[in-house]
Amino acid sequence: MSSRITPNLSLGGTLARILGVWLWQQADDATLPIGADHESPSAGGGSALPKLVLILGIISLLGSLAFAHQFNLGTKKVLFRDPGTPIKTVAENLERGNLWTNWVPGVAAHRKTMARDIRAGIPEVESLVDGYAEVQQDWNSKGLLHRVLRADELAQDLQKNLSVVRRPWHRGSQAYQEIESTYRRYRELSTSPPETLAGRVLSAPNQSDLAISMLRSGSQVRGTARLGPGKEFELPVVPETQLRFSEISKTTGKVVDSVSFDFLDWPKSTITFPGTGSRFVLALPELDLKGAPLPDLSPAARAEL
């Protein structure tokens, strides 16, 4: 999980130290707030104070940079983590802190504030996961063409589900990223719906062929030739029609059984004829890929909760 919460480091303080040292070096001795009685008795008559300030400034700068580096390492190690780490563990690690952060009150308080915000967002991610399970069950039960030709409705359901996560940090969770990926797939499909159904017969009984007809008000408006194993077919997308699948005897050339579906209720890969029990296996390669069932969340996404 990545985070958009960043530590608030005092870069201005560090730059101020550097500028102060430089100005001291460049100043005329007469303008410095040091009297003659403070001059060093060392050779050359120069004051040792500017050198001391320079040394202290360098030490302060190095200390600040070292602390900032360790603070960054400690915070990034917590916020940028392996997928599957429970969200509450991230909050606990932030609160616990480390040697470099606990002794600085401002830093420790900042980490605790981040931890509280992370904990407060856990119910949002839980609601996201529960809502996705409902959308998944609903749309996977509707079949391939429902998902493909009603992709805009499906995308809207997923978008509504994603909107429950309001905090930017929690949108980096594994669960959110996976659900958002599914949303993008169907959103893209909704902008370019298919115009044809291109398919192939994968297997068929030895004694039979298959024919597919499109019907409107009981009249055929489009149909295929007889199809055997390996044969391809193409039909226009006309959602308001019915599809009739006919089993044709190779011996007599007559229809021995048939079954009909509404266009959007295109069955899964296997067509089973109720009278003869014959089974034909079909594939719509392009649409099978685009309209694939909504996937389960990964184990890593579930482990976050």
Q: 227-284 pLDDT, tens per residue? A: 999 999 999 998 889 999 999 999 999 999 999 999 988 877 889 999 999 999 999 9
Which pLDDT band, with edges at 50, 70 and 90, does 217 fall under? Answer: confident
Distance from first CA to last CA of the chain, Å, rounded? 13
- Please give the angle made by the CA atoms of 237, 204 and 267, to the nearest 5 degrees: 35
Task: Specify whether 262 is located in the same domain as 188.
Answer: no
Tell me which of 175, 193, 211 is where a domain ends: 193
pLDDT at 161 (0 to 100): 95
Tell me which of 177, 193, 209 is where a domain ends: 193
Q: Which residues contact 202 (CB under 8 A, 6 or more apart)?
A: 229, 269, 281, 282, 283
**What average pLDDT does range 215-223 have in this prediction?**
88
- Please give the angle made by the CA atoms of 196, 291 and 274, to the nearest 5 degrees: 75
Asked whether residue 296 is assigned to any structural domain, the reply reads no
pLDDT at 218 (0 to 100): 82
Which pLDDT tens digit goes with each residue over 36-82? 454 444 444 455 566 555 666 665 555 554 444 444 444 444 454 56
**Helices 105-120 and 87-96, axial angle in degrees (round to 10):** 170
Residues composing the chain: 305
Which pLDDT tens digit goes with each residue over 152-210? 999 999 999 999 999 988 998 999 999 999 999 999 999 988 999 899 999 999 999 99
Asked whether residue 165 is assigned to any structural domain, the reply reads yes
**227-231, Cβ contacts within 8 angstroms, sequence gap of 24 or more:** 227/201, 228/201, 228/204, 229/201, 229/202, 229/203, 229/204, 230/200, 230/201, 231/200, 231/201
Task: Specify whether 140 is located in the same domain as 224.
Answer: no
Q: Model's pTM, two decimal places?
A: 0.69
**What average pLDDT does range 76-99 have in this prediction?**
70
How many structural domains does the chain have?
3
Amino acid identity of 230? Answer: G
What is the spatial distance between Cα 94 and Cα 114, in angstroms, rounded to a whole number?
7
Task: Specify whether 159 is located in the same domain as 182.
Answer: yes
Task: Specify whether 28 is located in the same domain as 103.
Answer: yes
Could you give the 3-state DSSP secondary structure of residue 44?
A: coil
**What average pLDDT does range 86-100 have in this prediction?**
75
Asked whether the predicted pLDDT for residue 220 surpasses 80, the reply is: yes
Asked whether residue 49 is assigned to any structural domain, the reply reads yes
Tell me which of 169, 193, 217 is where a domain ends: 193
What is the spatial distance between Cα 19 and Cα 215, in angstroms, rounded to a whole number?
84
Task: Specify whether 130 is located in the same domain as 53.
Answer: no
Domain span at residue 136 reads 122-193
Asked whether the predicted pLDDT for residue 25 surpasses 90, the reply is: no
Sheet arrangement for strand 270-272: 232-236, 196-203, 279-283, 270-272
pLDDT at 84 (0 to 100): 78
Asked whether the predicted pLDDT for residue 8 surpasses 60, the reply is: no
User: Minimal CA–CA distance to 54: which of 29, 16, 20, 28?
Assistant: 20
Q: Which residues contact 282 (CB under 8 A, 6 or more apart)?
A: 199, 200, 201, 202, 269, 270, 271
Asked whether the predicted pLDDT for residue 98 surpasses 90, the reply is: no
